[in-house]
């Protein structure tokens, strides 16, 4: 698009382990009964978190053009690289943080006065949980010249606050299959069903085992967290980008509760079964399924596991994504060049 892009490398130093994301301990009441037990749980998880963090940092540095590391909102305010446009990027950037209902850094409150601010594919992830957070959003969103959001529910929420927004595609969908193919590996491991699981939900395990039996093939599990080695499936731990994408591309079927697991299944036209997250973050998954006309691939009970045996005609979904890709890029170009 003719623009240089610099991504702010921002990780807050005060996101301490004393207060943890509730979904991490969902279904783990014994671990969640006291601060000491929560700290012990996180201490046990720490080695794999460090390994995942290092691997992620290597991939991030390989593909992204980053600023120096910022560890507080105050740092951003006092030492920010100059830019013509400041953009809130995608994913759940407007959702609740570990310690706050919202982080004003993702609302670009650090940007200089009168600077141009836009949002592309920003997502709330969950409901805005307090009147105070809602007041912050109402004040800060007024400073944006354009609001591109990922879910249809976000368009409605922002309209309720008195602002206009446009639903656009997640950035991963702005690249077509041919472009994503260039990031994949040629390595093959034969026929398999792939399970890519983010949340602690037994239904995912049960579904993955059932689908692998129905399709008469082995089960492979991919995860950045080592403790999933105890769950069903041949374990692929912490793969690089090319291996991760290839595992999805070459699967006979993907069983996932991950938004991006579904995204790449769609991009590579791989049959999939979606287990909707039960932690209040399913808006983005459901919005994508509605948009592509594939809401029936969402499984809510074992009675629906047989859906995996039904083929998917991806032609309609491919056409919808292609049209939405064109419109999303056009909206973004117009805002960057205005």
Measure the CA angle with vertex 86, ends 82 and 87; round to 5°: 150
Q: Mean pLDDT in runs of 10 for the chain (338 residues)?
A: 84 59 50 67 73 87 92 93 92 74 89 95 78 89 96 92 95 96 93 95 96 98 92 95 97 97 98 88 88 96 95 97 97 92
- Look at residue 193 in the predicted model and tell me its pLDDT: 98
- Look at residue 246 in the predicted model and tell me its pLDDT: 98
- Look at residue 30 in the predicted model and tell me its pLDDT: 60
- Look at residue 23 in the predicted model and tell me its pLDDT: 46
Closest CA to 83 of 65, 60, 61, 57: 65
CB 243 within 8 A of CB 181: no
Which pairing describes strands 253-256 and 192-196: parallel, antiparallel, or unpaired?
A: parallel
Backbone angles phi, psi at 199, to 5 degrees: -105, 160
- Look at residue 38 in the predicted model and tell me its pLDDT: 67
- Look at residue 283 in the predicted model and tell me its pLDDT: 84
- Whole-angstrom Cα distance, residue 250 to residue 190? 9
- Look at residue 293 in the predicted model and tell me its pLDDT: 97
Q: Which residues contact 46 (CB under 8 A, 6 or more apart)?
A: none
Closest CA to 72 of 104, 95, 102: 104
Q: Does the predicted model carry a pTM greater than 0.85?
A: yes
- Look at residue 28 in the predicted model and tell me its pLDDT: 56
Task: Please identify which residue in the block is written with the tokens 């594939």.
Answer: 294
Which strand ranges, in their side-by-side order, compose the sheet holding 146-149?
Answer: 85-88, 116-122, 146-149, 166-167
- Look at residue 90 in the predicted model and tell me its pLDDT: 84
Measure the CA angle with vertex 161, ends 130 and 155; round to 5°: 100
């Amino acid at each position: 698009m003719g623009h240089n892009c610099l991504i702010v490398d921002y990780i807050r130093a005060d996101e301490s382990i004393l207060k943890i994301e509730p979904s991490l301990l969902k279904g783990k009441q014994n671990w969640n009964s006291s601060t000491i037990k929560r700290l012990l749980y996180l201490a046990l998880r720490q080695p794999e978190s460090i390994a995942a963090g290092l691997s992620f940092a290597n991939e991030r540095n390989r593909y992204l053009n980053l600023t120096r590391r910022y560890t507080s909102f105050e740092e951003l305010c006092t030492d920010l690289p100059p830019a013509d446009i400041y953009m809130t990027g995608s994913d759940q950037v407007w959702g609740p943080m570990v310690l706050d209902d919202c982080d004003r850094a993702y609302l670009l409150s650090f940007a200089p006065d009168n600077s141009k601010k836009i949002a592309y594919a920003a997502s709330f992830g969950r409901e805005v949980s307090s009147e105070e957070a809602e007041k912050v959003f109402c004040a800060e969103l007024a400073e944006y010249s354009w609001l591109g959001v990922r879910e249809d529910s976000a368009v409605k929420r922002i309209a309720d606050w008195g602002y206009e927004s446009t639903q656009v595609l997640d950035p991963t969908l702005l690249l077509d299959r041919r472009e994503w193919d260039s990031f994949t590996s040629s390595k093959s491991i034969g026929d398999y069903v792939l399970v890519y699981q983010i949340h602690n939900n037994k239904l995912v395990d049960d579904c993955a085992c059932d689908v692998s039996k129905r399709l008469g093939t082995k089960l492979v599990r991919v995860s950045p967290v080592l403790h999933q080695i105890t769950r069903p499936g041949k374990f692929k731990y912490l793969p690089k980008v090319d291996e991760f994408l290839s595992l999805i591309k070459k699967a006979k079927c993907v069983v996932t509760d991950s938004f991006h697991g579904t995204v790449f299944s769609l991009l590579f036209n791989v049959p999939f079964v979606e287990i909707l997250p039960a932690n209040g973050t399913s808006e983005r998954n459901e919005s994508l399924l509605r948009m592509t006309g594939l809401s029936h691939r969402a499984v809510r009970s074992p009675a629906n596991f047989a859906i995996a045996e039904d083929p998917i005609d991806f032609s309609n979904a491919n056409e919808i994504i292609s049209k939405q890709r064109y419109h999303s890029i056009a909206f973004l170009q117009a805002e960057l060049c205005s």
